[in-house]
Structure 1
Amino acid sequence: MVVQQHRSGGGARAVCALAVVGVMAATAGCSADGGGGGVVGGRAVADERGGADSADVVHRAAEVLAGGDGRGENQPGGRDVTGSAEVRTSMETAAGGTRVTITGRGTYDFRKRLGRLTLVLPKDAAGEEEHRPITELFTPGALYMKNRGAGVPDSKWVRVDTTALEDGNLVTGGATDPMAAAELLRGAREVTYVGRSELAGVPVRHYRGITDIGRAARAASPGSRDVLAAAARGFRTDAVPFDVYLDEAGRLRKVRHRFSFANGGHGGPTVQVVSTTLLSGFGAPVAVQLPDDRDIYTGKIQQG
């Protein structure tokens, strides 16, 4: 396991400041000192020979999702429906024997980089018995959150500039932006082919490796480059272990990234963060309506 730490306290403060990952602070005491596959019939084919071939297939996961060279799923004539999908997320934090899991569900448009997720926090995670589900809107360079808590009126949204976050919103929002999760794989190295399996009845190939955030930022598409570049600047080490599952068309079906943070300074305990993204229902309609400026909260946000 590669330990991932912030270069400075600013990133850790950003993580602690937001309500969703305030869950980390409430349960783990988050501190401000946290230290080739080919193309067949117009579709990418996952390669199982390992080495450079497997790495190439993994590198192209984001391109397949956004570029539409996958096959249609349950569509007459195999019509391309790759550009959007239904999304499920899970972010689990663990420190000192305590585990907290935030789950999310929604849809995402990989071409426009727009998405909507509803996050469910566990009881007592936010300092109260039960927390209303948090609505998150993903847009290029910004994250909007509603029912955020911490003194923000329920009718108001909070807007976060993700390019200013030292983790690039890989963990801050309580769910990794689905496109960022895929783009992060552009920096994959040491990729090995694990084997075949099934996800919800869909045959997939399982790959494992280490991804380099800085390398991913340099190879990312323009819409994701600034966010990943921010993450590359904010972490002490760029190495992030991952497991990814691709279907026969090379489409990402599941990816799990493992992050670790030093809690309470360099000598403090480690907080483990496992972020998982699952995709299905390709071609699902995506409706994202951004809030008006008058509905965005600009007052003081409580920090636990």
Structure 2
Amino acid sequence: MAGRQPRRTRIGDAVVVLGVAGGLALVGVSGCGRSGAATGGGSGGGGGTAAGEVAVAVREAADALVDAGSSKARTSMEMATGGTRVTIRGEGVYDYRKRIGRLKVLLPQDPSGAPVRRPVTELLAPGALFMKNRGAGVPADKWVRVDTGTLADGNLVTGGVTDPFTAAELLRGARTATYVGRTELAGAAVRHYRGTADLHEAADAASEENKKPLGAAATGFATPEVPFDVYLDDQGRIRKVRHRFSFVNEEHSDPVAVASTTLLYDFGAPVDVRLPEADDIYAGRISEERIGGEDRGSGPEREPRMTGGN
């Protein structure tokens, strides 16, 4: 089917790209070698805490997820500009070997008190994001497909969630990282790390499936530097990761702060995801809408400029 240019949707004052494109190729998994710093006997009793091991432990967190196979996931994306703040939440499962997942995304409630509409179902796959119950004129039984390699943010914020494996591979670009301390998260002992990742370096070190999206983000954001906090368990697996971004929207003088948080748990959970057939994908015009507000139609808008950081 012929691809269409992405349309844009506002979430509060943040502009999120939504679009339709054709074709999907599932690429085989390629793993990276692990040094063992994430689980080896570093100082602090859990490994990955000595000065020379910290960045290695963070960069190898994605490999630990591949070793785990799958997990359940909860996501949260907070956006703020001026005095307005909205939060989009998601929950589902993800397979780190096949690079596919399914999330139900809850949109923010209408400020007027109107009932919250049904969740958007999102399927995550190499190079693509599929959305059902997208609204804005899309039939209820159809999916909207977005080619993530064409998005200026590499799908780090587009769907209101960050693909869990992309979030992990962003850490491959960890340029600076420090060990904050040992704590507990949802009953699991974890080590807390804080630092800054470089999107160019992340794209260079990423799996083939994520090189293009992360490369797009590296050039689409005004700066490739992305601050992060990550919590790793004693197997080196991510239990929680938080990235901080900022959109610079030409229509507003104040930047739009975006914080994306991903929680991973129940490793080894079964993942049964079937990607839509070509006939199930909507090929029509996608109208813009204000999530949590009225539809806006499909007129043109200026592309936002994005920055990493607070």
Q: TM-score category by the smaller chain?
A: 0.7 to 0.9
TM-score normalised by structure 1 residue count: 0.81
**Deviations 1:207-264 (CA, angstroms, capped at 9, x unpaired):** 0000001110001111211111111121121001000000011111100000001122
Please give the secondary structure, in 2, of the residue aligned with 1:183: helix
- The answer on 1:282 being equivalent to 2:267 is yes
| Residue aligning to 1:185 | 171
Distance in 2 (alpha carbons) for counterparts of 1:31 and 1:122: 14
Deviation at 1:127, TM superposition (A): 11
Please give the secondary structure, in 2, of the residue aligned with 1:218: helix
User: Does the CA-based 8 Å contact 1:54-1:193 persist in structure 2?
Assistant: yes
Aligned AA (2:260):
S
Corresponding pairs, count: 263
User: Does the CA-based 8 Å contact 1:151-1:301 persist in structure 2?
Assistant: yes
1:211-226 equivalent positions in 2, closer than 5 A:
211-226=197-212
User: Does the CA-based 8 Å contact 1:46-1:247 persist in structure 2?
Assistant: no
| Residue aligning to 1:117 | 103
| Residue aligning to 1:9 | none
| Residue aligning to 1:174 | 160
Give the alignment partner of residue 260 of structure 1, picking from 211, 225, 246: 246
| Residue aligning to 1:17 | 8
Cα RMSD between the aligned structures? 2.2
Please give the secondary structure, in 2, of the residue aligned with 1:93: strand
Please give the secondary structure, in 2, of the residue aligned with 1:166: coil
| Residue aligning to 1:49 | 50
| Residue aligning to 1:95 | 81
Aligned AA (1:37):
A
User: Does the CA-based 8 Å contact 2:196-2:225 persist in structure 1?
Assistant: yes
**Structure 1: gaps spanning 5 or more residues:** 1-12, 69-81
Deviation at 1:97, TM superposition (A): 1.3
**Structure 2: gaps spanning 5 or more residues:** 18-35, 289-295, 297-310
User: Does the CA-based 8 Å contact 1:46-1:249 persist in structure 2?
Assistant: no
Aligned AA (1:183):
E
| Residue aligning to 2:287 | 302
1:125-274 equivalent positions in 2, closer than 5 A:
129-264=115-250, 268-274=253-259
**Deviations 1:110-166 (CA, angstroms, capped at 9, x unpaired):** 011000000011211799642210000001000100001111111110011001111
Stretches of 4+ moved more than 6 A in 1?
none
Q: Which has the higher strand share?
A: 2
Q: Which has the higher helix share?
A: 1
| Percentage of matched positions with identical amino acids | 57
Deviation at 1:29, TM superposition (A): 5.8
Deviation at 1:46, TM superposition (A): 3.8
Please give the secondary structure, in 1, of the residue aligned with 2:98: coil
Distance in 1 (alpha carbons) for counterparts of 2:14 and 2:270: 39
Higher relative contact order (CA 8 A, sep 6+): 1
Please give the secondary structure, in 1, of the residue aligned with 2:161: coil
User: Does the CA-based 8 Å contact 1:28-1:96 persist in structure 2?
Assistant: no
Please give the secondary structure, in 2, of the residue aligned with 1:181: helix
Aligned AA (1:151):
G
User: Does the CA-based 8 Å contact 2:48-2:54 persist in structure 1?
Assistant: yes
Aligned AA (1:248):
D
Please give the secondary structure, in 1, of the residue aligned with 2:53: helix
Label 1:155 to 1:288 Cα distance change in 2 as closer, same or farther (>3 A): same
Please give the secondary structure, in 1, of the residue aligned with 2:76: strand
Please give the secondary structure, in 1, of the residue aligned with 2:136: coil
Distance in 2 (alpha carbons) for counterparts of 1:61 and 1:160: 27
Distance in 2 (alpha carbons) for counterparts of 1:159 and 1:179: 19
User: Does the CA-based 8 Å contact 2:81-2:256 persist in structure 1?
Assistant: yes
Distance in 2 (alpha carbons) for counterparts of 1:219 and 1:87: 24
Distance in 1 (alpha carbons) for counterparts of 2:39 and 2:86: 41
